[in-house]
Amino acid sequence: MEPALSVIRYNRLFFNILKTNKTLFTGLVFLCLPFLACKQATKPLSATEQAELYQSAVDKLTEVIIYDIFTPPVASRIYAYSNLAAYEAMRNITPTHPSMAGRINGFSAAPAPENGKTYNAPLAGIKAFLTVARSMTFSTQYFDDFEQVVFEKFKHSDLSAAVYEQSLAYGTAVGNHVLAYAKTDHYTPTRGMRYTLKKLPGSWQPTPPSYADAVEPKWGTIRPLVLDSAGLFPVPPHAPYSTDKNSAYRKELTEVYDLSKNLTEEQKRIAWFWDDNALVMEVQGHTMTASKKMTPGGHWLAIGQRLNRAQKYDALQSAQVNLLISVALFDGFIACWNIKYQTHRVRPETVINADMDKNWMPYLQTPAFPEYPSGHSTISAASAAVLSSFFGDNTAFTDSTEYVFGHGVGQFSSFRAAAAEASVSRLYGGIHYRSGCDAGAGLGENIGKKVLERLSSTTGK
């Protein structure tokens, strides 16, 4: 290859000769073609760079989920299927990890790569991921510029045109396979289903400021990914509603009220740090505004992303971690919501306002679904079990996931310590009774263990 300056001088000579002797045109064109065809040498993408491109796709999906204001259960479904597609596409090309076919309920093997063709696994995985993510979200325009940038990096690496195109086509095929599977999970029939308020004392009622309808009342009927059924793991029965001041229920209610009146600054910090309310409504006079934030599932997936990067996991390893967290989230919400809409337990705010203090407000805004058990406690314990399996029981980490939303930075000695803090944050926030937090934590631990039992093998088939 000639130095760049020599190429420039040669091209100038060509055009000067062309001006004075056009008969030389044809010969000179052929003479100059090797120089004109020269371009800057391509540079291969390292494993770390390719992993970062996949991880940035997960981050972009979180951004879109926040923008589209998906509820926490629905967000978990989007994460699960998108990461399933990414994982299956990559592991089929690089079969060092097991397929999820036969491990995830009802999931059949994705199309196999064609014999004799070469593929780039991370590129195919990213394409599969985005194929599903685009189909399951609304604001797909936010993927446009992102895709162009990511795919251009692969296109201008050392990949041949054939490998580039084959990888994209294969990723699309796997993404479509996962989308076909997702259509059979009973999600569509639950759209638009509304909750019928119960007339019994102690049953859930809409809460201020928006008095919104109950969120996803039929989510417990969605097909789980690894649980045999939504009711696989029962939780202890909660204390029955009672007006007796000496009853177990009233003692729990009084604990919430008394604690709210004496919250320490540290307890407030913990409650706020783990708020994870996807849509916070603020009322000023006759004006109501909304603030969008990350879901609880998005928060835990972001913690996994941070560890993937810190450990310099490659794209397939990162996809496995993200997939298992996502499955734990998805099945966690299904199991928890199944119980919530069987118990219909009233929120503390409703009873305190009616019987104790009409002007009382919880430190956090009460979400629009029944109390028992705590959803955040469930999915936090499930996620912590998965993360502990990959990174160790006593891995200390820093969590700055929601610093951009004004929630500060947390320091934790382990994933389970973080999950325990997330659980008790609901009590500090005034939106759960202690028993709801404890029951959710126990449920989530069982779900996390089940996910690991079914999916955590690293041996390829």
Model confidence over 318-372: pLDDT tens digits?
A: 999 999 999 999 999 999 999 999 999 999 999 999 999 999 999 999 999 999 9
The residue ranking higher by pLDDT, 461 or 95, is 95
The mean per-residue pLDDT over the stretch 208-213 comes to: 94
What local confidence, expressed as pLDDT, does residue 292 receive? 81
Is residue 425 within 8 Å of 404, Cβ to Cβ?
Answer: no
Which of 59-73, 172-186, 250-264, 284-298 is predicted with the least confidence, judged by mean pLDDT? 284-298
The mean per-residue pLDDT over the stretch 83-94 comes to: 98
The residue ranking higher by pLDDT, 40 or 273, is 273
The pLDDT confidence band at residue 423, using thresholds 50, 70 and 90, is very high
In one-letter notation, the amino acid at residue 205 is Q
The mean per-residue pLDDT over the stretch 146-151 comes to: 97
**What is the biggest distance separating any 2 CA atoms in the chain, rounded to whole angstroms?**
108
Which helix (H) or strand (E) segment holds residue 436: the answer is: helix 434-455
**In the structure, how many helices (H) and strands (E) does the chain have?**
15, 4
High-pLDDT (> 90) share of the chain, %:
84
- For residue 24, pLDDT over 90 is answered with no
Q: Is 206 exposed, middle or buried (0-12, 13-18, 19+ CB in 10 A)?
A: middle
The pLDDT confidence band at residue 315, using thresholds 50, 70 and 90, is very high
The residue ranking higher by pLDDT, 439 or 281, is 439
Average predicted confidence (pLDDT) for the chain: 90
DSSP 171-236: HHHHHHHHHHHHTTSSTGGGTT--PPPP-STTB----TTT-PPPS-TTGGGSPPSSSSSTTSS--P
* Distance, CA of 45 to CA of 154 (rounded, Å): 7
- For residue 39, pLDDT over 70 is answered with no
Is residue 382 within 8 Å of 448, Cβ to Cβ?
Answer: yes
C-alpha angle 251-257-260 in degrees, rounded to nearest 5: 135
What local confidence, expressed as pLDDT, does residue 251 receive? 98
At 245, list the tokens.
């001041």
* Distance, CA of 86 to CA of 99 (rounded, Å): 12
Is residue 371 within 8 Å of 345, Cβ to Cβ?
Answer: yes
Distance between the two ends of the chain, CA-based, in angstroms? 46
Is residue 362 within 8 Å of 349, Cβ to Cβ?
Answer: yes
The mean per-residue pLDDT over the stretch 41-50 comes to: 89
At 160, list the tokens.
């041949």
Helix (H, G, I), strand (E, B) or coil at 327: helix
CA dihedral 299, 303, 305, 307 (to 10 degrees): 180
Which residues pair with residue 281 across a beta bridge?
Answer: 290
- For residue 380, pLDDT over 60 is answered with yes
- For residue 461, pLDDT over 50 is answered with no
- For residue 386, pLDDT over 50 is answered with yes
| Distance, CA of 238 to chain centre | 30
High-pLDDT (> 70) share of the chain, %:
88
What local confidence, expressed as pLDDT, does residue 43 receive? 86
Which residues pair with residue 289 across a beta bridge?
Answer: 282
What local confidence, expressed as pLDDT, does residue 458 receive? 55
Other Cβ atoms closer than 10 A to 452: 20
Cα–Cα nearest to 404, from 291, 282, 297: 291
Distance (Å) of CA 265 to CA 253, 271, 277, 360 = 22, 10, 20, 19
Q: Considering the entire predicted model, what is its pTM?
A: 0.89
